[in-house]
Amino acid sequence: MNLPAALLAVLLSFGPSTYTVKPGDTLYSIATAQGTTVSALTALNRLQSPSVRVGQLLQLSSTVAAPAVQQIAGVTVTAPAQVRMGDAFVLRLSGTRAQEATVRFPSEVGEDVRLPNEVLKPVVSAGGTLVFGRVVLGKTTPVVYEIRVGEDVMRGSIPVTDQRQATQHLNLPSSISSRMQDPARKAEEEAVERAYALRTAQQWSQPFQVALSTRLTASAFGQPRTYTAGSPVVYHYGEDYLAKPGTPVRAVNAGVVVVAGKYPVRGGLVVIDHGLGITSLYFHQRRVLVRVGQTVERGQQLGEVGSEGVSNAPHLHLELRVRGEATRPAQWMNRIWPQ
Ligand SMILES: [Zn+2]
């Protein structure tokens, strides 16, 4: 038998981590026997219903190896060995046909993710040929990626580790929490969603840098929290920097201002589009000094720290999003690509 290299790579990566459905099997019995869950198998195999048929080949989430390097049709793909929920990461492609490849993340189907399974073209830059991935907060099943080069298709997966943080109960006074119900909130959400949908060219060439040099608060990125007693648990999508009111807030990198104004929840808000689906958001400012459409440089002042919107003390809430999903800001700082 003389297998093409691409097929061999697929067999090597999936051979020991698939299961063929046998008579009498149910999704539940398979999940139990394989140490995974029905929901994980459903998501991983993109099943439309919980019924399986004899002979069906299932991918098993819990045992999929982390292929650090795989090859397909002359393209070498390098993926992180593992990621955490809330991570941004890059898949690196190399080889003569790397720029012909398209990449998707099929595991996003069925997840609470904007534009799941989007067909992505790799970015070609001095850092190589790469595609951004994101691990939405709350996700614990592996990230599955699919690379296409011409007629060749390859899949790989990256295990996700849970960060397991205790839920923080903010118990905000109703004078602050009522802003969550402000009628103007609809326009606010629409403004940020428009920014998240942008797919412009890369605007930055230098490493990202912090927006404020003050210390972070105890409210960590990704922390589950409630705003008032009994309210639903939501994730903290950014990092909080404590600072005196009026402290300059600076752009983490070059880009174009796509939102600038005062909003009920985020207060004085600036959103910068850095290109490639990457946005940074700066919340709760008492003054905003830039306008929509303006190009900003890394380190340029955007506004002043305040406590506007849903906030109980002067601070900057900073977010860094990949195609609209919040990623860990600290991961971006002092480097050009997330790690
Ligand atoms: Zn915050």
d(CA 76, CA 98): 8
Whole-complex ipTM: 0.98
Q: How far is the CA of 337 from the centre of ligand 1 (A)?
A: 23
Taking the centre of ligand 1 as the mean of its atom positions, its distance from the CA of residue 307, in whole angstroms, is 11
The CATH number for 13-63, chosen from 3.40.50.450, 3.30.1490.20, 3.30.70.380, 3.10.350.10, is 3.10.350.10
pLDDT at residue 215 greater than cutoff 80: no
Please report how many Cα atoms fall inside a 13 Å half-sphere around the Cα of residue 277, on the Cβ side. Answer: 20
CB contact at 8 A, 69 and 92:
no
Q: What is the C-alpha separation between 116 and 24, in angstroms, rounded?
A: 34
CA of 282 to the centre of ligand 1 (A): 10
**pLDDT class of 51 with cuts at 50, 70, 90:** confident
Q: What is the Å distance from ligand 1's center to 264 Cα?
A: 15
CA of 235 to the centre of ligand 1 (A): 10
pLDDT for residue 236:
92
Cβ atoms of residues 267 and 281 within 8 Å: no
> Comparing C-alpha atoms, which of 119, 195, 199, 196 is closest to residue 153?
119
Q: Determine the distance separating the centroid of ligand 1 and the alpha carbon of 108, expressed in angstroms.
A: 25
Q: Where are the domains of the chain?
A: 13-63, 69-161, 168-331
Could you write out the three-class secondary structure of the chain? CCCCHHHHHHHHHHHHHEEECCCCCCHHHHHHHHCCCHHHHHHHCCCCCCCCCCCCEEECHHHCCCCCEEEECCEEEECCCCEECCCEEEEEEECCCHHHCEEECHHHCCCCCCCCCCCECCEEECCEEEEEEECCCCCCCCEEEEEEECCEEEEEEECEECCCCCCEECCCCHHHHHHHHCCCHHHHHHHHHHHHCCCCCCCCCCCECCCCCCCECCCCCCCEEECCCCCCCEECCCEEEECCCCCEEECCCCEEEEEEEEECCCEEEEEEEEECCEEEEEEEECEECCCCCCEECCCCEEEECECCCCCCCCEEEEEEEECCEEECHHHCECCCCCC
Taking the centre of ligand 1 as the mean of its atom positions, its distance from the CA of residue 306, in whole angstroms, is 12
Could you report the per-residue pLDDT of 90-141, keeping only the tens digit for each?
999 999 899 999 999 999 998 989 999 999 999 987 768 999 999 999 888 9
- Cα of 190 to ligand 1 centre, how many Å? 20
Query: What's the pLDDT score for residue 58?
Result: 83
User: Where is mean pLDDT largest: 96-100, 111-115, 241-245, 277-281?
Assistant: 277-281
How far does CA 214 lie from the centroid of its chain? Answer: 25
pLDDT of residue 62: 45
Q: Using CA atoms, how far apart are residues 315 and 260, in angstroms rounded to an integer?
A: 18
Report CA(8)–ligand 1 centroid distance (Å): 47
* Res. 8 pLDDT band, cuts 50 70 90: very low
CA of residue 328 to ligand 1 center, whole Å: 12
Question: Distance (Å, rounded) from C-alpha 56 to C-alpha 32?
Answer: 17
What digits encode the pLDDT tens for the residues 327-337?
999 999 999 88
Which numeric CATH code is attached to 168-331? 2.70.70.10
**Count of beta carbons in the 10 Å neighbourhood of residue 293:** 9
Q: Is the model more confident about 114 or about 10?
A: 114
Q: How far is the CA of 312 from the centre of ligand 1 (A)?
A: 10
CATH code 2.60.40.10 for 69-161? yes
